[in-house]
Structure 1
């Protein structure tokens, strides 16, 4: 083969090899691109658990009325559609967390009567604080350590309420006055007078209970809810035992079936 023919053959082979490499690279790039695109495709979303449907909003601020003068608060005024679900204590951090998540998920409005001695109130402050700030959950004073106020000295009555009030201000930046709930519902003229002297002028009781201050069955809680979730009722529950957290959808069903509007006390009454 002469020199000219050899160089021509070599050039042709080089071009053929380059084209093959280029095509192989392009095919490889397409394969990699396809794999990357497949990896970038969103996976099927995780199933969202069924949540109870949202509840009716509170009445407008213009509907608020003055607090009644003197005596205990046991029911809401008027014959409308309002229900105040109030829950006490906080012995279980898990129940406080789940009740608060329940409110966040459904829009139910609650009043918590807090005993500041329980760690639940600091452990759940991050979850609870935005709902307190928005007004969906109201905090009331239930004393710091839950004594029978009728069996302690005047100074102890004042100390229990002021220590708990200070705890709520420091932890949540809010003032629980004028509402306080005497532990066990026990109060008298002396208790009311001392409480009023430190800013708590409204002893807040109830007319209906979920009866869950001790451990009871889910069925019994629902029986109590069916009995007491009525227009104008202030109902007491507790943040102590888990069974109530298993029946949230059923509680919402009762409220919705009766066309009730859950409210905090601040939703109903003007601040003095």
Structure 2
């Protein structure tokens, strides 16, 4: 049986603490005081160690020999990049912004339109329109023998880039029958502009002259004159009245013959029946011009915009305004007038007079006025062309001279 005395806790504690070798030094006042002093010193040392709050700042190397990991030291941060003038910035890459490609727009051709009028309305050139659309309309291919820039038809859809001109040295090359996809439909007709510009000559300092032939009234030699010009590859611009050019046998024959050579001939508008435009209202002017344009388009596919020649050469500010509003931007006059419409019996010129006048007055940029019904015009043409050649002057159409 167990002795009750062995179960008294106080007895057991006295038994162990009474041993001299096991006495705890902290149980004495002196030991406790020494321990307190040590704690105070440690706190003071820690307070002034590098990196402590309020203490001196040291570099990471002064407190840690390692770079983190097994040493228990925090990883050494990289120093911030230098901002001094000697620093070299590191390489950088900026992704370039892609340049958007040109955006094509579509234009629906309406009666009375021409490549020239469309090009003028959208700040480009007729030849650029031809390049862009040659895949769809082969007759608009400048490299083709069938090239017919004066022939476009209502209902055609042309593509173009407003404000852009094609470089003839590097034209687009669509596959046969292909076309650029239109993306933005344009208005269905050139916007009527301000007053027509009076043009009496082209650029000076060139070797170009424009031979122009009005048609109206007498028509006897008209077909012969056109045939002679074709046989000798002479460029010219014809200004027919709608009535003479589309309602008479001679007029139709002459215009149809000229239309077979679009590379040689351009066309302008000379009204329907030759009224004095200074006596007409703006509405009457527009009727005269559009009636002629429609008739010529139906007969030979010819487009006359932007060229209008006023009957009798008569114009005023009101005429310029009315013609421009109707869509004809150039009121074409002349700087050399042969007066070939007048018979010699009435004081008109002989063939020699016509030649002498043209050769004495023509210069680079000249616009020469003649008539397909001139009394001695056909007779004068051989010497006139030889004389121009001797002066190093070359006949061109108005479109070529004026860049339309």
**TM-score under structure 2 length normalisation:** 0.48
Alignment partner of 1:117: what SS?
A: helix
Q: Distance in 2 between matches of 1:100 and 1:90?
A: 15
Which of 111, 128, 143 is the matching residue for 2:271? 143
- The CA deviation at 1:70 is 6.0
Deviations 1:207-243 (A, max 9, x none): 1111112113222212222222322111111122331
Match of 1:87, SS state, is strand
What is the match of residue 244 of structure 1? 377
1:81 aligns with 2:211: no
Larger Rg: 2
Spell out, residue by residue over 1:95-116, the C-alpha distance to the aligned partner (whole angstroms, 9 max, x if none).
2212211211111111111112
Distance in 2 (alpha carbons) for counterparts of 1:222 and 1:78: 21
Q: Greater share of helix residues, 1 or 2?
A: 1
Asked whether the equivalents of residues 341 and 375 of structure 2 are also in contact (C-alpha less than 8 Å), the reply is no
For 1:170 and 1:260, how far apart are their aligned partners in 2? 35
User: Which of these residues, 211, 217, 220, is aligned with residue 94 of structure 1?
Assistant: 220
C-alpha spacing 1:246/1:74, structure 2 compared with 1 (3 Å): same
What is residue 359 of structure 2 aligned with on the other side? 226
Q: Which residue of 1 aligns with 2:386?
A: 253
Structure 2 residues not aligned, in runs of 5+? 1-166, 169-194
Relative to structure 1, is the Cα distance of residues 257 and 178 closer, same or farther in structure 2, using a 3 angstrom cutoff?
Answer: same
| CA RMSD across the alignment | 2.1
Aligned to 1:123: 253
Within a 5 Å distance, the mapping from 1:19-168 to structure 2 comes to 71-118=197-244, 119=248, 120-131=250-261, 134-168=262-296
The answer as to whether partners of 1:211 and 1:224 remain within 8 angstroms in 2 is no
Match of 2:402 in 1: 269
Aligned partners of 1:196, 1:136: CA distance in 2, in Å? Answer: 27
CA contact (8 A) 2:196 2:328 kept: no
SS at 1:242 equivalent: coil
Secondary structure in 1 matching 2:376: helix
Gaps of 5+ in 1: 1-60, 63-68
TM-score by length of 1: 0.70
Aligned mates of 2:370, 2:225 — CA distance in 1: 11
- Structure with the greater relative contact order (CA < 8 A, sep ≥ 6): 1 or 2? 1
Aligned to 1:208: 336
